[in-house]
Each structure stands twice: as structure tokens, then as C-alpha cells.
Amino acid sequence: IEDELCGLSFRIAPAAFYQVNRDGAELLYGLARERAALTGGEVLLDLYCGTGTIGLSMAKDAGELVGIEIVPEAVECARENAERNGIQNATFICNDAGDAQVILSACGGTRPDVAIIDPPRKGSTEGLVKCFAELGIPRVVYVSCDPDTLARDCKWFRENGYTIGEVTPVDMFPRTGHVESVVCLTRII
């Protein structure tokens, strides 16, 4: 499948995740970009990056984009999507980004300045939150499709030295109980 989103062209493999509500996705990604507050020189880490839609929509505002995804077909699409959109500051790695060494290795030994995470409905892991704290990542923008797992994960972030910013819901699927949310978590210790 091919689609246009946030002014970019994307190829999506059958096994890869993609937001089907384009207008809602553009609103959601705009909120994420606003919360990331990129100034042009940051190393932007995009975890659970899928086909690269969120990170690639922000790449022009970052010094470097590093995406990590566990689904090989999605990573191939992300690489192709960067190329098809002329984005040269993006690298995509196929791996499970559960520990600091994977993240540091993917980022060439440099600590990311901002991390974007968009995990599946089951949420993130306490191990990943601890990894972010160990690395001292100053800002994490969390895109969530489940308020329950977002609340649980925010608790983990708070316990690991992050403040929880404003949570903004986006009604991606009107007349259903499903909502996407965006929140910025900022490191305080």
C-alpha cells in the first residue's frame, strides 16, 4: 500500500502497522512534533517506529533520526520511505530496543536528545523506561493507543525521574471507545 501523510509519501508492507485515519494521524503526529520541540541538531530516537511515519515526519527538524523496530518488513519500508522522500539523516535498525546497549549502538554511541515511542496496545516495558533513565534521555514523547497502559507506563516514568506533561487525546476512531494520546515526559533528575 502507498499513501501520503504529513506531506510525505509512504509505502506500507502488509505486516507493518499504519494509522488508517490519515487526518487523525496528521493531527496526532503534529502534536508529537510540537511536544518534541526539536531545534535542528538533536538526535531523535524513534522506537516502535514501524514504517517510519512519525520519525520521518520530524526528520527535517532533527540533526539525526534513528528508528528501531522489531518487524523486518516494516524496517525495510522505513528505509525505502526515507529514500523515496529524500531524507538522508535517517537510519533504521531491525532490533528489539529493550536495553541501553542496543540504543547506544544504533545511535553511534551518542545519547539521544529526544525519544518518540509509539508502542502497541500492551504499552512499553518497565525495562525500557529504566533504560531511558539510565541513558538520561531528557525528553520522551509517548504516543499511546491505550489509556490504561499509558497510565501504567507514566507511573514507571515518574518513578524513574520524569515529570508527566499534558496528556492530549486524539479521537482517531469516532463513536468508539478507542483514543490515541500524546504526552511529553521530561527528565528532572
Catalytic residue among 49, 107, 131, 145: 145
158 close to 148: Cβ distance less than 8 angstroms: no
Rounded to 5 degrees, what are φ and ψ at 47? -95, 150
- 107 part of the active site: no
For residue 25, what is its C-alpha cell? 494521524
Q: How far apart are CA 112 and CA 162, in angstroms?
A: 16
Rounded to 5 degrees, what are φ and ψ at 93? -120, 135
For residue 115, what is its C-alpha cell? 525519544
Nearest CA-CA partner of 127 in 102, 93, 92, 91: 102
At 145, the amino acid letter reads C
100 close to 79: Cβ distance less than 8 angstroms: no
Distances (CA, A) of 177 to 81, 145, 147: 32, 11, 11
Nearest CA-CA partner of 74 in 32, 145, 144, 18: 18
Q: Which residues are catalytic?
A: 145
